[in-house]
Amino acid sequence: MDYIYFKIQQEIITHITSALKILKYPVQIKLERPPDQGLGDFSFPCFSFSKISRKSPNETAKIIAEKLSTNHFIKNICVDGGYINFSIDETPLIQETVHSILTNKQSYGHLDKKNIFIIVEHTSANPNGPLHIGRARNPIIGDTLTRLLKAAGYSCESQFYLDDLGKQVAILCWGINNLPKEEKASIANKKLDHIAVGFYQKANDLMNEDPQVKQDIQDIIWKSEHGDIQTISLIQEAYQPVLKGMNESLKRVNITIDTYIPESTFVKDSSVEKVLDILKNTPFCHEEHGAYYLDLESFGIKGRNTKFFITRGDGTSLYATRDIAYHAWKATQADILLNVLGEDHKLESKQVEIGLQLLGIEKIPKTVFYSFVSLPEGKMSTRRNRVVYLDDLIDECVQRAYEEVKKRRADEFSELEMKTIAEKIGTGAVRYNIIKVQPEKDMVFQWEDALNFEGNAAPFIQYAHARASSILSKNETSIKGIEKQIYSKLMHPSEIQLIKKMALFPFVIQEASITYKPHLIASYLFDIASLFNQFYRDCPVLSEPDKELKIARLCLVASAKQVLNNGLCILGIDALEEM
RNA sequence: GGGCGUGUGGCCUAGUCUGGAUAUGGCACUGGCCUUCUAAGCCAGUGAUCGCGGGUUCGAAUCCCGCCACGUCCGCCA
């Protein structure tokens, strides 16, 4: 893709490079953006060169600036406070940007195809109950990353690593098969995952009270981990409905997962065994009461205990060992492995990494860790019933959105229309509130914040999109086959600001995808929506008497709508024509 | 005890990797703007020892050292 801003930036870098070469200064270029638009569009700090020139930073900047020339992109160069500030000629920028948006449409902002395949592993929640909002951060970050990476030109697959072995599903399995079924009336309107969690909770309690139950559950674990086909399929029957329920919740917030990889796969195909064979033969492996562990002290692992157990005393594998086998397999499937994990998995992730190294695998997964969402009264806990389920959050947000729509537009929309719009606003709000904060920040969930649809929230962006759509739907002037020269009519500061910001979209996608920071997209979109609202205030479109300016503005509205749409698409939030 | 992460106005948050111009926005609060394209909006205002203490630097929210608080982990759990 040929984006004008890339070209302009490259142009400036080339100019500075040749100036620095003439002066025999080291070529170290960091282009910044001035804090104030009045200063220019790009700035080049010259402080580091003042040591060489033995002059003040500002004098140095002047010396460098003298060797620079303007061209058709660069309108003006001025030195101020040790910076060389570049003002770009807005005409080509405006023309090219609007033109590029209207011709590239849904792919505006997207980067060139890279022929690199990424597996994004996310969610991977134990299928023993509904997703709660602590876990919900995972699919939202994961899905947004997947969408973002696709926009950045990668091909991607999302994977859910399905925990079908071990204690959690075994408890569920026992509960489903041994506890009395619930009465039809009490489960009438319940989702499958919400029904199942009751069995899990009861079975969990019984396990702690009744040694026989505990033994039964342990049998299930033992059999499944030894690859007993019958037990594994019994477990599968138990968790499938839960998974179905979880997927319904995810689907509601526009998340679908491409592939499910059951953990048992790697036991059944004996790849775990092969992994163990190799790991046992490394010098780091030791044995203790029949169990094998790797001593990770020499790998920089510190703490009370540096032993990483890879088998139990009975020879069966452990979760992390199977995870190594899974990652070893993934490494053969993709160019880049990206995992989204809770911060509690940091050590385990490091152990997997070391395991892969010992297997001679160089494709080490990259990981985005997120902190937990807690409640004002403390950590979320299903057992203590101190938990907010994702479904409840979605329901509340949709309900709130419905009330707002009804308040404003009851006389214009049908009941069905209001419900449809409310669903999109409510679910969008859920995603946006989670993705706008960088993953490593702790979050305390507050209903008040979650249900606030003003300011930096999804409805603000959807609203700007709806306003743009509204203008276009009322317009009767054709904007097909417009010559881009007409866009130079767009001279109002609000128009220029908006266009300049839209020109940055590819940069933002680039930056966000390289650093795996989806929240950058959220704050960028917020800026676009905000600038659009300012434009909306300052520049009437439909009533504009100058025909050419009107057309240019219509094109600008269409571009803004497109950029908002493309950005919302990366965030997995529905754009709205009306709200 | 150790590892990792976080700490920015009353609350939330950007910027931290790659040091740079008066620290970004939002919520709340105060005042103003709907006979004109949707007021879920716009404009203005109040409000910050950037956790604390040192250091490096012409320059530190950003880098280094020490400390404090919170989260998280250090299971033959997952």
Domain ranges of chain A: 4-88, 164-262
Strands (E), A350-505: 366-370, 373-374, 443-444
> What confidence tens digit (pLDDT) does each residue in A115-147 have?
999 999 999 999 999 999 988 999 999 999 999
> What confidence tens digit (pLDDT) does each residue in A39-71 have?
889 999 998 888 888 888 888 899 999 988 777
* Protein CA at A159 to nucleotide C1' at B6, angstroms: 29
What are A50's two structure tokens? 């003042």
Give the nucleotide at minimum CA-to-C1' distance from A378: B71
Q: Which residues of A15-24 are buried (b: 16+ CB within 10 A; e: fewer)?
A: bbeebbeebe
Provide the Cα torsion A504, A509, A512, A518; round to 10°.
110
* Protein CA at A163 to nucleotide C1' at B11, angstroms: 39
Give the nucleotide at minimum CA-to-C1' distance from A314: B76
A83-97, A175-189, A303-317, A406-420: lowest mean pLDDT where? A175-189
What are A450's two structure tokens? 């979650």
**Three-state secondary structure of A234-270:** HHHHHHHHHHHHHHHHHHHCCCCCCEEEECCHHHHCC
* Protein CA at A45 to nucleotide C1' at B20, angstroms: 7
Yes or no: say if A577 and A469 are a contact pair by the CB < 8 Å rule: yes
Handedness of CA A214, A218, A221, A224 (dihedral sign): negative
Q: Which nucleotides of B are covered by protein (CB under 7 A)?
A: 1-7, 12-15, 17-18, 20-22, 25-28, 36-43, 58-59, 70-78
* Protein CA at A483 to nucleotide C1' at B23, angstroms: 43
pLDDT band at residue A1 under the 50/70/90 scheme: confident
Say how far apart CA A255 and CA A246 lie, in whole Å: 11
Q: Length of chain A in residues, anyone? A: 579
* Protein CA at A459 to nucleotide C1' at B11, angstroms: 21
> What confidence tens digit (pLDDT) does each residue in A457-468 have?
999 999 999 999
pLDDT at A365: 96
Say how far apart CA A398 and CA A390 lie, in whole Å: 12
Q: Is A474 exposed, middle or buried (0-12, 13-18, 19+ CB in 10 A)?
A: exposed
**pLDDT over 90 at A378, yes or no:** no
pLDDT at A258: 98
H-type helices in A294-336, by residue range? 319-333
Interface ipTM: 0.96
Give the nucleotide at minimum CA-to-C1' distance from A36: B21
pLDDT at A4: 93
pLDDT at A226: 84
Structure pTM?
A: 0.95
Does domain A4-88 fall under CATH 3.30.1360.70? My reply is: yes
**pLDDT over 80 at A435, yes or no:** yes
CA A572 to chain centre: 9
Q: Is A229 exposed, middle or buried (0-12, 13-18, 19+ CB in 10 A)?
A: exposed
pLDDT-above-70 percentage for chain A? 100
pLDDT at A380: 87
Strands (E), A132-234: 155-162
Closest CA to A524 of A477, A447, A456, A579: A456
Residue A11 CB coordination number (10 Å): 17
Instruction: Please give the average per-residue pLDDT across A189-193, as a whole number.
Output: 89
User: A95 φ, ψ to 5°?
Assistant: -60, -50
pLDDT band at residue A238 under the 50/70/90 scheme: very high
pLDDT at A166: 82
